[in-house]
């Protein structure tokens, strides 16, 4: 396929392309090429990883998507042992990705996912913001990328830094982002540049440049999105009776194995164990007022020294939880906050199972109360929309006439099972993004991440690896 004839550019609060300023949204998916943030991941291992190839670019296009957000590690290109010098085979690898995108008819976003100074995210502890050297190297790398690809229209945008985390010093990022934008403009006046919010501060801002796309990531609500990976059952999306479990809560008294929710101050429940935690197994059951019964989750506690391996998918039936994740809550009881789950008023919840060395009474539930200022927020579309506008900053960008990109959003494949509402969650997201004219890229296409559309695990993605329900939603909404 020939390259696009013109650059994608920002025009007020949206993107356009061509002399006639045809509106365009960059709707696609993330391709991982950053070693999953591991500082010790060899560059050759990234380049030879089996996460995507020509066929996968074509699959993206067949889904109705028009862009791949290519997640880069800086040392694919810059020599880690010789700063400001670049690998010839790194450029060749990147050239090959551009050629693959062109052949499939999709754009590329070049996203610096793991920069000098280490992969950033809410728990970042590296020295990027305290040491000028990694910042200087990243700026120089972006200038070289922009110089090299300044006429490449297959590249839709340069994304400066994935999930910057300044640990409360947002002004550092705002100032540095402007510096990098200005440096790129000395060699490339045409390409769209993406600037993301500080992932922890979540403070929206605008810079002095007319061709920018502003970004944030939205796994909302996080516990629901990461269910049966980092957490247990997190409710049924679309049910107005199901609350979004708040980030923090007040723990109530230890109750028995059975608890009926009849207090609007209660947001959730949390399982408790006594006795020998490792080897315990149990299930949590919900019974509604009409007598209907559903198993919300089955749990198996594994020895503390053998947590589930990252090279295999996390199961949801039973869900393996390491014994080391259970912490004392009283003299005799232990809790696992990852297993806290939202509850519906009027329903009864039962925990039952076996704890090694305990004949009976080794399991219990404790209520989780809203803190002052928190309140019931239903797990439905209108709640997500309100949070997009006001917590993530979409309203700010709309007021400033600035276009917005959701560089990452995604949900656990387990959300698509057992009436948990994952398909509706995804359909509502696509509809909301269309409603507000947003660009968006799903996290993630493939690899050892539990949001993956293709859970390929060390093999090239194939149809039997696919999250078919998620792919069906994309097919329906993007065609």
DSSP 291-351: S-EEEEEEEEEEPTT-PPPTTSPPPSTTEEEEGGG-EESSSS-EE-GGG-EE--TT-EEEE
pLDDT of amino acid 305: 57
Residue 93: phi, psi to the nearest 5? Answer: -60, -45
Enumerate the domain spans of the chain.
Answer: 8-223+379-478, 256-369
Which 8-state DSSP code applies to residue 415? G
Alpha carbons 336 and 297: distance in angstroms, whole number: 14
pLDDT of amino acid 55: 98
pLDDT of amino acid 310: 44
pLDDT of amino acid 312: 52
* Those residues with Cβ within 8 angstroms of residue 212's Cβ, 6 or more apart along the chain or in another chain: 10, 181, 192, 193, 194, 195, 206, 402, 403
Give this prediction's pTM: 0.96
Distances in Å between the Cα of 219 and the Cα atoms of 176, 205, 419 are 26, 21, 19
Tens digit of pLDDT per residue, the chain (479 long)? Answer: 777 999 999 999 999 999 999 999 999 999 999 999 888 899 999 999 999 999 999 999 999 999 999 999 999 999 999 999 999 999 999 999 999 999 999 999 999 999 999 999 999 999 999 999 999 999 999 999 999 999 999 999 999 999 999 999 999 999 999 999 999 999 999 999 999 999 999 999 999 999 999 999 999 999 999 999 899 999 999 999 999 999 999 999 998 999 999 999 999 999 999 988 999 999 999 999 888 999 999 999 999 655 444 445 567 889 999 999 999 998 899 999 999 999 999 999 999 999 998 878 899 999 999 999 999 999 999 999 999 999 999 999 999 999 999 999 999 999 999 999 999 999 999 999 999 999 999 999 998 667 999 999 889 999 999 999 999 999 999 99
pLDDT of amino acid 357: 85
DSSP string, 347-387: -EEEEEEEBTTBSS--EEEEEEEPPTT----BSSHHHHHHH
pLDDT of amino acid 282: 97
pLDDT of amino acid 358: 87
Alpha carbons 345 and 260: distance in angstroms, whole number: 8
Query: Do 368 and 251 form a contact (C-beta atoms < 8 A)?
Result: yes
Alpha carbons 195 and 191: distance in angstroms, whole number: 13
Distances in Å between the Cα of 256 and the Cα atoms of 259, 271, 278, 347, 422 are 7, 10, 21, 15, 32
Q: Assign a CATH topology to domain 8-223+379-478.
A: TIM Barrel (3.20.20)
* Those residues with Cβ within 8 angstroms of residue 309's Cβ, 6 or more apart along the chain or in another chain: none
pLDDT of amino acid 449: 67
């Amino acid at each position: 396929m020939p390259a696009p004839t013109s650059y994608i550019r920002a025009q007020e609060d949206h993107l356009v392309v061509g002399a006639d300023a045809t509106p365009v949204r960059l709707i696609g998916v993330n391709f991982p090429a950053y070693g999953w943030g591991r500082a010790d991941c060899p560059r050759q291992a990234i380049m030879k990883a089996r996460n995507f190839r020509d066929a996968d670019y074509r699959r993206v296009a067949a889904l109705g998507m028009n862009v791949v957000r290519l997640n880069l590690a800086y040392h694919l290109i810059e020599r880690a042992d010789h700063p400001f010098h670049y690998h010839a085979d790194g450029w060749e690898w990147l050239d090959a990705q551009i050629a693959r995108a062109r052949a499939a008819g999709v754009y590329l976003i070049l996203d610096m996912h793991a920069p000098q100074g280490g992969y950033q995210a809410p728990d970042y502890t590296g020295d990027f913001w305290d040491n000028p050297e990694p910042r200087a190297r990243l700026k120089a790398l972006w200038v070289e990328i922009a110089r090299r690809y300044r006429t490449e229209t297959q590249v839709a945008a340069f994304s400066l830094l994935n999930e910057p985390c300044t640990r409360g010093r947002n002004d550092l990022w705002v100032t540095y982002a402007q510096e990098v934008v200005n440096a790129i403009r000395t060699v490339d006046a045409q390409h769209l540049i993406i600037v993301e919010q500080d992932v922890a501060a979540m403070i929206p801002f605008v810079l002095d440049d007319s061709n920018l796309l502003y970004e944030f990531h939205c796994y909302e609500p996080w516990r629901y999105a990461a269910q049966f990976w980092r957490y247990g059952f997190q409710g049924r999306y679309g049910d107005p009776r199901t609350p979004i479990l708040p980030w923090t809560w007040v723990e109530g008294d230890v109750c028995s194995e059975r608890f009926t929710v009849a207090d609007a101050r209660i947001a959730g429940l949390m399982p408790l164990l006594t006795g020998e935690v490792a080897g315990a197994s149990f299930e949590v059951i919900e019974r509604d007022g009409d007598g209907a019964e559903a198993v919300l989750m089955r749990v198996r506690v594994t020895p503390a020294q053998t947590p589930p391996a990252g090279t295999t998918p996390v199961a949801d039936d039973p869900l393996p939880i390491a014994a080391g994740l259970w912490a004392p809550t009283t003299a005799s009881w232990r809790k696992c906050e990852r297993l806290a789950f939202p509850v519906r008023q009027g329903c009864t919840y039962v925990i039952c199972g076996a704890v090694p060395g305990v004949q009976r009474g080794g399991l219990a539930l404790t209520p989780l109360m809203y803190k002052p200022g928190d309140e019931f927020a239903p797990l439905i579309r209108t709640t997500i929309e309100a949070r997009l506008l006001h917590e993530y900053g979409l309203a700010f960008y709309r007021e400033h006439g600035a276009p917005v990109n959701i560089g990452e959003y995604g949900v656990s494949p387990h959300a698509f099972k057992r009436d948990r509402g994952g398909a509706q969650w995804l359909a509502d997201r696509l509809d909301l993004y269309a409603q507000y004219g947003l660009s968006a890229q799903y996290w993630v296409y493939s690899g050892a991440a539990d949001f993956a559309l293709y859970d390929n695990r060390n093999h090239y993605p194939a149809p039997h690896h696919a999250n078919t329900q998620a792919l069906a939603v994309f097919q329906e909404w993007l065609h």
